[in-house]
Structure 1
Amino acid sequence: MSEAPAILIAPDSFKGSISAVRFCEIAERVFAEHLPGVEVISRPMADGGEGTVEAVIRGAGGSLHTERVTGPLGEPVEARWGLLPDRRTAVIEMAAASGLPLVPEGRKDPLRATSYGTGELIRAALDAGARRLIVGLGGSATNDAGAGALQALGLKLLDGSGAPLPPQARSLLKVARIDASELDPRLAETEVLLASDVTNVLLGPNGATAVYGPQKGVDAELQPVLEEALARFARLTVAATGTDHRETPGAGAAGGMGFGFLSWLGAELRSGFEVVADLVGLPEVFESGRLRLVVTGEGAINDQSAQGKLVGRIALLSWAHGVPVIALAGALQPGYEGLYAQGVASMQSIVPRPMSLHEAMRDAGDLLAARVRDLAHALQATAFGAWP
């Protein structure tokens, strides 16, 4: 008997409605009911932003841990991080502690926002014995160059009189000296890998404040203020560390946290997609030669999807191995057709009729199940349906 065909489910999250893990669970259930002879392989994906920890632990194994940490506005939040089976590698999402979804609409305050909670997550991972940290940079509410996180790890920002400054972005406007004498000594023996597909530098028109500041509440009046805050912190950092990462691609990720961690923690920066793909064994799944179809998806497919976003990366990987791809989305927006040139066979919205965004997000699980059911029925008419 021929080996049964395999379908790979490898989606991104539908932000605010369906996690990548839930997408996989829904697809597994529907395919098991309608295509019982087909093996379904799930690899929920992420690129360093929302859902990275959950996707990695689902794909690579390990354990989830929850900490009560400082949120972006200084209020306590519950944040999860993961510990891989080797017990020395931790996976952390900065967005879990310092992300924009943690800031209620109407309360965005980029001068006050802090990444301190991300540092607390790192400290918890170090306490658990981790000496390799994979930190996902994405979805931040902050514009503090990661200074808040570094302060949680022992770095001191001092004003002109030598007094310590609070962990807020506005403190970067007053910092006169940076004292690293109490930086957690465990960091010296810890490998830090930053996972991000952002290539922005720290400053300037392609920098953290100019490009990502507006979504965090940075208006035209605040933009030069926060730009100067980052520039001041950067000048002092370069003088103190002897390294200059201001122009390093990715330094502007997560409100400049890329720069802070590259400079003070000796971190390495890699593509978030590639980091997650390697951790969950995605290349090995393709190299098995058993895949007959890949199903991927994200909340919105548009002109950016073919420019390095996760669905586009999945499409290129599939194309390289000669496997067709079907992409499901909450919305197909202008420019989505660009993915056809990357080997995507079909793109479909899970929304079957006009409805409000609230309704679509509320019912996203049911809408996805219905669309996967339609896909399963279509596959039954092909060779997939011939396997017992």
Structure 2
Amino acid sequence: MNSDAQRSGGLDLTPRQRTTVATALTILGVIVILGAVGLLTWVVTAFLGYFSSVFLPLAVGGVVAMVFRPYYQLLHEKLRLPMPLAVLAVFLSVFVPLGAFGWFFGALLADQISEMVTQFPAWWERLVSQARQQWPEVREFLETNPWALRVREAAESQGGAIVAGLQQVGVRAMSAGRGVLGAVGGFLSWIMFPVYFAFFLAAGRSVSADLEHYFPFFKPETRRDVVFLLTEFVNIIVAFFRGQLIIAFLQGLLYAIAFSLVGLQYGFVLGLLLGFLNIIPYLGSMIGLGIGLPLAYFQPGGGATTLVLVFVAFVVVQSIESYVLTPRIMGSRTGLHPMVIIVAVFFWGTAIQGLLGMILAIPLTAFLVVFWRLLREKYMTELV
């Protein structure tokens, strides 16, 4: 039997050996595929991070166009407006009110920002005065508390490292000049935003119908799965940003009203800013605590009472967002736990190096969840 196997050029393996070899090859194949996917992901994220100033206006234009596409379809298909007129009507009816809103509140925002800048020296003096008053108690604590002594010794031992770090400030300052040039280039790339918006808005054919023709090398079933994943990704982006824009706008108004009612200086501008930042989930909330509470304490006439009132206002608005706005507007469209959302924002913000990654963090993570479910249900089998 062995001689026959040798003459035929094959291997005579027992069933157990065949199972072992098949399992090893399967594991090796999975490792190779994961490595290839990881390498491709690294290349794509590095590419997007390097050219983010080019791709960010393109991505924002596409997302905004998809958000307002039902409005365009109403004008073009139901009311029979020609495509150029429908695009122009959408552009004017969306961005002109936004411009009017910005103009109406612009003077108030400018006044509050200007007053905030002029009040900064007074805040600093108050902070220094309170620090001087509290310094004897702090010094006594540092000199007598064992834990504080250990921290002090550790800080002194790392003094050389701190000095070396400060020496890098000049080098980083030199790179700031290149950052200014990059900002100018980014501003110029945003000039193309209306063109991107109009192009994506007027792209009228079905995404699924277009994608079917781009994958002729796949089997029909695999092609359907690929089209399903890409279509699902687009649907997730549209659903997320439609809901998140509405939630961020309403939350910003609630913050502005609540902060103004409790007497927080510049509460209106701060509230609108926090609402805008909440387009990226939880970003405005985290920044709001870091800015609003110290501002409430150190502002003229402020103190512990104002700080508590601002904190209560913050908790009330955050509760309204979590238990009323998000469930009614967004629902469970992403299916992600809040902790997963926070980790995803930091992960994709680091992976794609900046704002683009933070904006796309939730859609990308939700897409990966859908992809994993499809892979697990249709393509993964038991290895042993």
Structure with the largest fraction of helix: 2
Q: Which of the pair is proportionally richer in strand?
A: 1
Range class of TM-score, shorter chain: under 0.3
TM-score, with normalisation over the residues of structure 2? 0.22
Structure ID, larger Rg: 2
